[in-house]
Structure 1
Amino acid sequence: MQDAPVFPRTLVSFSVLLVIIAIPIVYLCPRMKYLSLIPVITAFAFGAQLSSAIKSQREYEDFVFNMISRDVINHQDIKTIITTGQVNINERTKLLIENKPLIDDFLSPASQFLASFQLINKGLTQTTHGYGEENNNNITLQNMVNKGIKPIISNTEYSIYLKDSLAVIKLGNTP
């Protein structure tokens, strides 16, 4: 998404809260004033790593959705597109999560609704919104697989199943 997510913006207030906690330490114990920098530095360091992880994941998702839109545009007969699954976490973000596991709690890879929103933004207006349709989309995909329909495109990031004029995009394939 081009707009920043709302949740990371709340981290600004988290940093401010730690600064407010540090102020009484400076006034009550002047000898400990340098100790008050620890929560401030910690908040800024965590915020920087979290920001880097979120930015890296969003750029990766943009790359994946560009690939999907390029593949889907080649099939003119598609009238409806539904999504299922969730975009994989990219390697750079995985490294940051291994270093700071708390980042994983703040990270939200694009899944059905956000994936549909991204595809619509890429020009695939026949994409359904996906909100509240997660189970139906999964059932539709499962029915296609049970009928022996193979994906027309499959890689480690996504698979595209096509039946008649319906395309089902399964995100997050694992090797």
Structure 2
Amino acid sequence: MASSMRNGAQAATGGQLFKDTVFWVAHKLPSRDYILELIKKNGGIVTHLENQADLRIADHTMKKKYVVPDSISYEFITDSVRKGVTQLPDRYLILPPFDQTTQESRKRTRTIFTPAEDASLLLYVESHTKDRTGNQIYKVFAESVSFAWSSWGSILCRALRHTATLY
């Protein structure tokens, strides 16, 4: 039996589609034995260590949070053998889901007020003689800065009250 077939005829590469290419194949792969057989019959080398592999083969249908980074779909192997030509691995790249990348960049800690922001709040509140105790003063001030109006009121009441002679 020919090592790689294309429409019933042996491929022009003669079973050398993956010559000298080292593959790592994920253990949770459907038809893993079949994929390993295709790789070996077409000149590929299989390793048990991810970091020694040129290409990492995984299941593109699996939950993507479990997929090894920079892995490619097992369809790369099956399509290459079926077509008789090594396909472009970039077309089979398994990308992380969109929300995973945004989750990593999400803010995880509270942003601290700087001394300059504290000073600007004090100057703003001291310059207004009316409605110092209401929320409206903070709502107006928050329009020109990066924090919400409620946080400005809280910082004045808790942290800066001892420094201000406002009340």
TM-score interval (norm. to shorter): under 0.3
The structure richer in helix per residue is 1
TM-score by length of 2: 0.27
